[in-house]
Amino acid sequence: MKKIGHQDPLWVKAIIHALLITACLITIYPILRIMTISLRPGDRLMSTSLAIIPPDATFLNYKAALFEKDFLLWLWNSLVITLATAVIGLSLASTSAYAISRWKFPGRNAMLIFLLGTQMIPAAMLMVPLYLLAAKFGLINTYRGLVIAYSVSAVPFSIWILKGYYDSIPTTLEEAAMIDGASRMYTFWKIILPLTTPALAIAFLFNFMNSWNEFMLARIMLPKAGMFTWPLGLQSLQGQFTTQWGVYAASSMMISVPVVALFLYSSKWLVNGLTAGSVKG
């Protein structure tokens, strides 16, 4: 992209910054409120104060989450499942997307419509049949069922993203390599995949977020306290009537920080990875 010669006059700049700052405040304030609650001492969680750092701030809730609850165990379980499934999901999607991008085979359009269709199934519709299926194969109370389910569940969207990105890579690259005698899969592995890094990063991120945040399926598939993933753990802090809001907020903060960091780190690819395929202008 070329640098555009002229810049906005000062008053336009001022308005733009004012608008952006307002938008940022609206965006970040609710998140800061979680932090505020996590810092309040346990006996006064409800307050009409709007101060972001409460005057009597304390880290007791963080201490409670870390040392009195199985917080680290929940996080560990989630992390193991999530990383494994994100890697599997990515390998499944990247190969399929490549085939769909490069070959016009019979049934290709039907496949694309099918992928789109998978996004339309109401989640509530899947719960009971998936549980029955898992029970049939003895996958209840194990991580196996979840690993299989999560591995595939973000595949449609990943294929979508990756296919768009492959489309934007000219086929001449592969053709040249193949004239030199390289096999198709070697070219894919050595030439195409490295070029796809932004889209791969995005697909990985989607797979990651998808399993990291999943709650409904985990609830019925993991009926054992020691096996909880973090969403189940957080849920256990909520009682029928009373919730340990302080500990809840502290845990939420600690869970969000690494994910947000990962997200922001990969956001440099986010902008290109999501749209590359669709823009040809």
Residues numbered 13-72 forming contacts with another protein, rule: CB under 8 A: 13, 16-17, 19-20, 23-24, 26-31, 33-34, 43-48, 50, 70, 72
The yes or no reply on residue 9 touching another protein (CB under 8 A) is: no
3-class DSSP state of 209: helix
Q: Which residues have C-beta within 8 Å of that of residue 68, sequence separation ≥ 6?
A: none
Cβ neighbours of 89 (radius 10 Å): 25
Residue of 9, 10, 55, 122 that binds another protein (CB under 8 A): 122
Per CB under 8 A, does 96 bind another protein? yes
Which position among 105, 170, 179, 194 is part of the footprint of another protein (CB under 8 A)? 105
- Closest to another protein by CB, 57 vs 227, is 227
- From the list 59-67, 108-116, 174-182, 189-197, the region that binds another protein by CB under 8 A is 108-116
Residue 215 Cβ, how far from another protein at the closest point, in Å? 6
As measured in angstroms, the least distance from the Cβ of 59 to another protein is 19
Measured distance CA(157)–CA(85) in Å, rounded: 15
Query: Crossing angle, helix 10-39 and helix 245-275, to 10 degrees?
Result: 140
Query: How distant, in Å, are the alpha carbons of 85, 138, 140, 213, 218 from that of 145?
Result: 11, 9, 7, 16, 9
Q: Which of residues 204-263 bind another protein (CB under 8 A)?
A: 212-213, 215, 219-220, 223-227, 231, 234-245, 248, 252, 255-256, 259-260, 263
Name the one residue in this structure whose structure tokens are 């390599």: 177
When binding is defined by CB under 8 A, the residue of 148, 191, 193, 195 that contacts another protein is 148
CB of 56 to another protein, least distance (A): 14
Going by C-alpha positions, the residue among 198, 97, 88, 107 that lies closest to residue 153 is 88
Q: Scan residues 150-209 and list those touching another protein (CB under 8 A).
A: 151-153, 155-156, 159-160, 163-164, 167, 184-185
Alpha helices in the chain (DSSP H): 10-39, 60-63, 71-102, 108-118, 123-136, 144-153, 155-167, 172-179, 184-187, 193-195, 197-213, 216-221, 230-236, 245-275
- Which one of 57, 64, 66, 133 is in contact with another protein (CB under 8 A)? 133
